Amino acid sequence: MFSKILIANRGEIACRVIKTARRLGIKTVAVYSDADAEARHVAMADEAIHIGPSPARESYLVADKIVDAAKRTGAEAIHPGYGFLSENAGFAEACAKAGIVFIGPPTAAIRAMGSKSEAKKIMEKAGVPLVPGYHGDDQSPELLAKEAKRIGFPVLIKASAGGGGKGMRVVEGAAKFADALAGAKREAKASFADDHVLIEKYLTRPRHIEIQVFADTHGNCLYLFERDCSIQRRHQKVIEEAPAPDMDPARRKAMGDAAVAAAKAIGYVGAGTVEFIADQDGTFYFMEMNTRLQVEHPVTEAITGQDLVEWQLVVAAGRKMPRSQDQLAIDGHAVEVRLYAEDPARNFLPSTGTLVHLRLPEEGPNIRVDTGVREGDTVTPFYDPMIAKVIVHDRDRTSAMRRMAVLMGETEVVGVTTNAGLLKALCAHPAFVGGEVDTGFIERHHDQLFAKPAPASDRTIAIATLARLVEWHDAAPSSPGDPYSPWGAQNGFRLLGEGHDEVRWKDGEREVTVQAYHRRDGSIGLTLPGGTLEARVRHADDGRLAVLLAGETFTAAAVPRAANDGGVDYTVFADGNQRRLRLVDPLDVTQYEAVGASEGSMRSPLPGKIIDLRVKVGDTVSKGQALLVLEAMKMEHTLTAPADGKVKAVRYGIGEQVAEGAELVEFDDTES
């Protein structure tokens, strides 16, 4: 076995690999970019080497710098994680040349599966079923359009070099084909420096079912059952589970055998995943093979009781796999959710910022949390916006989903927008829990999953108000560390006994004014929309608030944070829900102006580049109309008009780089 390895990755996967290495007594070397100097994976590793500026193409994607770091530190092997250089045959070759073991498959196997088009040709020969489509070399737009017509709409255009759902476009009819092709090629070029595409028949209501395969250098090749990854957004996985719901043993074996045949056809070694797309009737077709460890491998680890990173290390060290096919069995059910810094309500636009408050589920025997961040860390626009993966293992699927829904309700993140609410809604959705699983689920149930929240409850407003009062109290000159403060004694909120404060909130369009009457006994009477409630509050141990409200005791968090427009928002976490309230400061008139001004303009939600502009000065636009396309985090994001209006100014042109928060389009004030 190795005595020291280097991990050529960052974030949760780097941390996860370090964990297993440490357990096996293997020293670890981390690499990091400027943006990651303080990152969790750097802190966890035994050594860390700086490899360059923040953009991945100048650091994590530079093979030479990484091989160099391994040589300098005496690492005998390199684990590439997923993404970055993990499926880069040139990198695997560079490792070999330097006498360093690449913890992954042989170069030829990476090459064979690197292009989805080439992979399909190989699978066709091996007799593995394929989705009807075109995966030829001729890339002329005319021929591709003709092929699309032959296959029959709807079709799916895919980047041959694709991954992570990038460079993909569904096309409903011939009229939209040329535009979609151009878009897919643009995105493919930006992400993979290769704009070769293939076309497939677009299946409606399919399931994504994939098989985890493993092979060693002693001729053994086996499968560790399946994962269902059908719950997706933008063709990227959001929830993954193992085993797949309703999988019968015969079909499991047929798919496992097909996956093993695929692996054997290319002389595979190490961990790999063969992805299939399945019809509702169970017919399955080969989609692609990922020649690396997959993001969602923990669900397989949970149901098999194996550590796949340990398997990778064992196999890379030239030993036999720890188990044979007949020694593997499925135990219970596991589900994983990907907690992303993104805004589901804005078409899953990535969200960046500092994690000023972070409370992830606590790990336990059946709860696993894989994360690369801590409170205070920043989600930057440079890398994938995943905050954590949460995995629950339980007796059966229903129990696992129920527990996951609870965990997502208890997850607290302030500083970036997350998909926690959507994950909770999904895991609690009766249809999903009942086994309705396909890649169109989120879209089909959109209205329920994205239901507009009801007005904030009195309880939520009370918690925010109490947090505000505590803040005032803490800031008062007499209170910090004051041994005579009545705060600690809990028998008087104010030195002067009775008094009265007023706190005003904006809850969406509604404005709520709360009067807080401080009683002599330390309790507070709050006048809320539904009536007066009696409350008590004090600091709890973990930075939260211990609240007594209307006779009930609980802990809650209400975290203030300055918003982009200068106002202050309080995020309230209570009862498994979160809610944002805007503090209305009566002394600060600029706040009202700022809010009004932001309605008259559209700002950039992310740093990025303008790649398409669809309006000019003088245009009349209606709410929701596409105004421009921003390329950020290697994806295209269409920005739409926030309201009806007339365009007064367009601040940037195509090709220009814009900062987060930059004013892009200004509108005339239509009301006046």
Beta carbon of residue 325, minimum distance to Mg ion (angstroms, whole number): 25
Beta carbon of residue 633, minimum distance to ligand ADP (angstroms, whole number): 11
- Distance spanning both ends of the chain, measured CA to CA: 75
DSSP E strands in 421-551: the ranges are 499-507, 510-518, 524-528, 531-539, 545-549
Residue carrying the six token digits 């530079």: 62
Contacted by 187, from Mg ion, ligand ADP, none: CB < 5 to 8 Å by type:
none
CA distance 390 to 582: 30
Residue 549 CB partners (closer than 8 Å, separation 6+):
459, 462, 463, 533, 534, 535
Are the C-beta atoms of 663 and 651 separated by less than 8 Å?
A: yes
User: Which of residues 139, 217, 220, 236 is near ligand ADP by CB under 6 A?
Assistant: 236
Are the C-beta atoms of 606 and 381 separated by less than 8 Å?
A: yes
Beta carbon of residue 280, minimum distance to ligand ADP (angstroms, whole number): 12
Is 11 among the residues that bind ligand ADP (CB under 6 A)?
A: yes
**Taking CB under 6 A as the criterion, which residues in 152-211 touch ligand ADP?**
156, 158, 162-165, 200-203, 206, 208
- Say what the alpha-carbon torsion angle 388, 394, 396, 400 is, to the nearest 10 degrees: -40
Contacted by 227, from ligand ADP, Mg ion, none: CB < 5 to 8 Å by type:
none
Is 83 among the residues that bind ligand ADP (CB under 6 A)?
A: yes
Using CB under 6 A, count the residues that bind ligand ADP: 33
- Residue 39 vs 516, nearer CB to ligand ADP: 39
DSSP 606-645: SSEEEEEE---TT-EE-TT-EEEEEEETTEEEEEE-SSSE
- Residue 275 vs 412, nearer CB to Mg ion: 275
- Residue 83 vs 421, nearer CB to Mg ion: 83
Kindly indicate which of the ranges 229-237, 404-412, 517-525, 582-590 contains the residues binding ligand ADP, using the contact rule CB under 6 A: 229-237
Beta carbon of residue 108, minimum distance to Mg ion (angstroms, whole number): 21
CA distance 76 to 74: 6
How are beta strands 270-278 and 284-290 bridged, if at all?
A: antiparallel
CA distance 413 to 417: 8
Candidates 208, 276, 210, 247; CA nearest to 441 is 208
- Residue 158 vs 393, nearer CB to ligand ADP: 158
CA distance 424 to 442: 13
- Residue 287 vs 610, nearer CB to ligand ADP: 287
Is 294 among the residues that bind ligand ADP (CB under 6 A)?
A: yes
Is 295 among the residues that bind ligand ADP (CB under 6 A)?
A: yes
Are the C-beta atoms of 296 and 240 separated by less than 8 Å?
A: yes
CA distance 625 to 474: 47
- Residue 290 vs 306, nearer CB to ligand ADP: 290
- Residue 116 vs 429, nearer CB to ligand ADP: 116
The one catalytic residue in 16, 40, 207, 292 is 292
- Residue 156 vs 516, nearer CB to ligand ADP: 156
Kindly indicate which of the ranges 31-39, 78-86, 562-570, 621-629 contains the residues binding ligand ADP, using the contact rule CB under 6 A: 78-86
- Residue 384 vs 565, nearer CB to ligand ADP: 384
**Taking CB under 5 A as the criterion, which residues in 259-278 touch Mg ion?**
275
The number of beta carbons lying within 10 Å of the beta carbon of residue 632 is: 20
Are the C-beta atoms of 609 and 654 separated by less than 8 Å?
A: no
Is 291 among the residues that bind ligand ADP (CB under 6 A)?
A: no
- Taking CB positions, which residue lies at the least distance from ligand ADP? 83
Is 439 among the residues that bind ligand ADP (CB under 6 A)?
A: yes
User: Which of residues 290, 380, 411, 418 is near ligand ADP by CB under 6 A?
Assistant: 290
Helices (H) and strands (E) in the chain, counts: 19, 39
Contacted by 295, from ligand ADP, Mg ion, none: CB < 5 to 8 Å by type:
ligand ADP
Is 275 among the residues that bind ligand ADP (CB under 6 A)?
A: yes
Q: E strand or H helix at 509, and its extent?
A: none
Candidates 604, 654, 37; CA nearest to 351 is 604
Beta carbon of residue 17, minimum distance to Mg ion (angstroms, whole number): 21
Is 237 among the residues that bind ligand ADP (CB under 6 A)?
A: yes
- Say what the alpha-carbon torsion angle 394, 399, 404, 409 is, to the nearest 10 degrees: -140
Assess whether 323 carries a catalytic annotation: no
Q: What is the total residue count of the chain?
A: 672
Point out which residues pair with 657 in neighbouring strands: 609
Beta carbon of residue 363, minimum distance to ligand ADP (angstroms, whole number): 20
Contacted by 91, from ligand ADP, Mg ion, none: CB < 5 to 8 Å by type:
none
Are the C-beta atoms of 337 and 442 separated by less than 8 Å?
A: no
Chain centroid offset of residue 109 CA: 29
Beta carbon of residue 42, minimum distance to ligand ADP (angstroms, whole number): 14
Beta carbon of residue 82, minimum distance to ligand ADP (angstroms, whole number): 5
Point out which residues pair with 402 in neighbouring strands: none
Is 288 among the residues that bind ligand ADP (CB under 6 A)?
A: yes
**C-alpha angle 224/361/541, rounded to 5°?**
155
**Taking CB under 6 A as the criterion, which residues in 369-408 touch ligand ADP?**
383-384, 386
Beta carbon of residue 255, minimum distance to ligand ADP (angstroms, whole number): 15
CA distance 426 to 418: 14
Is 26 among the residues that bind ligand ADP (CB under 6 A)?
A: no
Contacted by 195, from ligand ADP, Mg ion, none: CB < 5 to 8 Å by type:
none
Is 287 among the residues that bind ligand ADP (CB under 6 A)?
A: yes
How are beta strands 620-621 and 635-640 bridged, if at all?
A: unpaired
Report residue 464 as tokens. 């925010």
State yes or no: cis peptide before 243, omega within 30 of 0. Answer: yes
- Residue 156 vs 524, nearer CB to Mg ion: 156
Beta carbon of residue 624, minimum distance to ligand ADP (angstroms, whole number): 26
Is 277 among the residues that bind ligand ADP (CB under 6 A)?
A: yes
For residue 87, CA distances in Å to 79, 114, 158, 239, 274 come to: 12, 7, 18, 23, 14
Residues forming the active site: 292
Binding footprint of ligand ADP on the chain (CB under 6 A): 11, 13, 82-84, 131, 156, 158, 162-165, 200-203, 206, 208, 232, 235-237, 275, 277, 287-288, 290, 294-295, 383-384, 386, 439
Binding footprint of Mg ion on the chain (CB under 5 A): 275
